Amino acid sequence: MRALRFHEPLRVALVTVPDPVPAAGEAVLRVHATGLCNSDVRVYLGEKKAMPGVIPGHEVTGAVVALGEGAAATIGETVSLCPILCCGHCSFCREGFRNRCPSRRTLGYDLDGGIAEYVRVPAPLVAMGQLLPMDPSLPAERRALLEPFACVLNSLEALHVRPGAPFAIVGGGPMGLMHLVAGRLYGAGPILVVEPEPSRRTIAAQLGADAVAHPDDAKRSGDELTRGEGFPAVAVAVGFAEAVPAALGLARRLGSVNLFAGFPPGSVHTLDLNQVHYDEIRMLGTQNAPFALYQRAAQMLPRLDSLDRIVTNRYRLEDAADAYAARLEKQGLKSAVFMADSA
């Protein structure tokens, strides 16, 4: 099969490798589409670690085409996957936080992922129900959003986003816009999206933001929307340390600020400790999502037509390396790679 290989930072290439054959308990998917995540771009830039030689791609949707002995999956079924391989017995796994398992490995980083014609799904992942059935009539780009949408739901849950409660999103890239779509679905409002790029502010407004603002106007706009009180929930969906003080400035007393995006290694930020203390601000972080939120995301995706606008850049497998270049140049919103006969 053809696959993209990550050799080392700034070097990915299309290669031909043997088709995966499933061992006992394993499944093989014929990949329909795989989304390119900002974390894939961070691996490409050398900011985040992945195994040299790995096939990238963790936002995968496809059809089950082969099963190893005893694998609990159905040939022909369309699925999207939760790409986390965990131990299943540590305290995090037992509490449902497979994403926080100390021995976690992830498809696309530590094991071959989905920027390929086929992907082999490890036995524990099949056995733990992490192939989530999807309606095959849903566009492949939407099915490929299962993982990032589950991550967004985790952010909203951590922030206790509630119906009728103001919600601020710092960053109007694909993940910020998915926070907006999810926030609307939760009934939160008014929702403010803070984003420097005018074209992204326009899309945020079209996707239902009550207000959009350039970072320089964020505080004023936020005060207007919340009568000066600030936001009970603020999501930071951009990996710049400078976004953190701005996010803290938007938070209401007793509000929560979630660091959703990853930051370049060594990013530090000086906190006004008294702001945290006297305003009783909750600073949080979320990364990936507990499995239950993948299940919830799978149920919600069929109703979220607006998410189709998030995938703006479509690539064929042979052009997958270009998908990285487009992200570096910040062309469009999100990239996805579509395999030959499913584009």
Specify the residue, 37 or 234, whose C-beta has the smaller distance to Zn ion: 37
Is there binding between residue 87 and Zn ion (CB under 5 A)?
A: yes
Strand, helix or coil at 186?
Answer: helix
Task: Encode 28-67: b = buried (16+ Cβ within 10 Å), e = exposed.
Answer: bbbbbbbbbbbbbbbbbeebbebeeebbbbbbbbbbbbbb
Specify the residue, 14 or 87, whose C-beta has the smaller distance to Zn ion: 87
CA distances from 44 to 68, 180, 200, 253, 278 (A): 32, 27, 24, 39, 41
Specify the residue, 68 or 114, whose C-beta has the smaller distance to Zn ion: 114
Tell me how far, at minimum, the Cβ of 97 lies from Zn ion, in Å.
Answer: 8
Q: Among residues 3, 41, 86, 116, which is the contact residue for Zn ion, using CB under 5 A?
A: 86
Number of amino acids touching Zn ion (CB under 5 A) = 9
Q: Which residues contact 326 (CB under 8 A, 6 or more apart)?
A: 313, 332, 335
Is there binding between residue 93 and Zn ion (CB under 5 A)?
A: yes
Is there binding between residue 115 and Zn ion (CB under 5 A)?
A: no
Residue 180: which of 213, 212, 204, 145 has the closest Cα?
204
Tell me how far, at minimum, the Cβ of 40 lies from Zn ion, in Å.
Answer: 7
Radius of gyration of the chain (CA): 20
Tell me how far, at minimum, the Cβ of 91 lies from Zn ion, in Å.
Answer: 8
Q: Which stretch binds Zn ion (CB under 5 A): 61-69, 110-118, 142-150, 325-333?
A: 142-150
Give, as ranges, the residues between 145 and 164 that touch Zn ion (CB under 5 A): 147-148
Specify the residue, 117 or 147, whose C-beta has the smaller distance to Zn ion: 147
Tell me how far, at minimum, the Cβ of 165 lies from Zn ion, in Å.
Answer: 27
Is there binding between residue 100 and Zn ion (CB under 5 A)?
A: no
What are the phi and psi torsion angles at 52 (to 5°)?
-60, 135
Give, as ranges, the residues between 40 and 79 that touch Zn ion (CB under 5 A): 59
How many residues are present in the chain? 343
Q: Which stretch binds Zn ion (CB under 5 A): 95-103, 120-128, 192-200, 238-246?
A: 95-103
Is there binding between residue 170 and Zn ion (CB under 5 A)?
A: no
Is there binding between residue 343 and Zn ion (CB under 5 A)?
A: no
Q: Token digits for 48?
A: 């985040």
CA distance 227 to 100: 38
Tell me how far, at minimum, the Cβ of 302 lies from Zn ion, in Å.
Answer: 20
Q: Which stretch binds Zn ion (CB under 5 A): 31-39, 77-85, 105-113, 179-187?
A: 31-39
Specify the residue, 213 or 304, whose C-beta has the smaller distance to Zn ion: 304
Contact 296, 152 (CB under 8 A): no
Strand, helix or coil at 230?
Answer: coil
Is there binding between residue 101 and Zn ion (CB under 5 A)?
A: yes
Specify the residue, 22 or 83, whose C-beta has the smaller distance to Zn ion: 83
CA distance 219 to 192: 10
Q: Where are the alpha helices (H) located in the chain, listed in sequence order? A: 38-44, 91-94, 123-127, 140-143, 146-158, 174-186, 198-206, 218-225, 243-250, 273-278, 291-300, 320-328
Contact 87, 78 (CB under 8 A): no
Specify the residue, 112 or 147, whose C-beta has the smaller distance to Zn ion: 147
Q: Among residues 90, 292, 321, 343, which is the contact residue for Zn ion, using CB under 5 A?
A: 90
Q: Which stretch binds Zn ion (CB under 5 A): 29-37, 121-129, 192-200, 205-213?
A: 29-37
Q: Token digits for 290?
A: 């507990």
Specify the residue, 116 or 248, whose C-beta has the smaller distance to Zn ion: 116
Contact set with Zn ion (CB under 5 A):
37, 59, 86-87, 90, 93, 101, 147-148
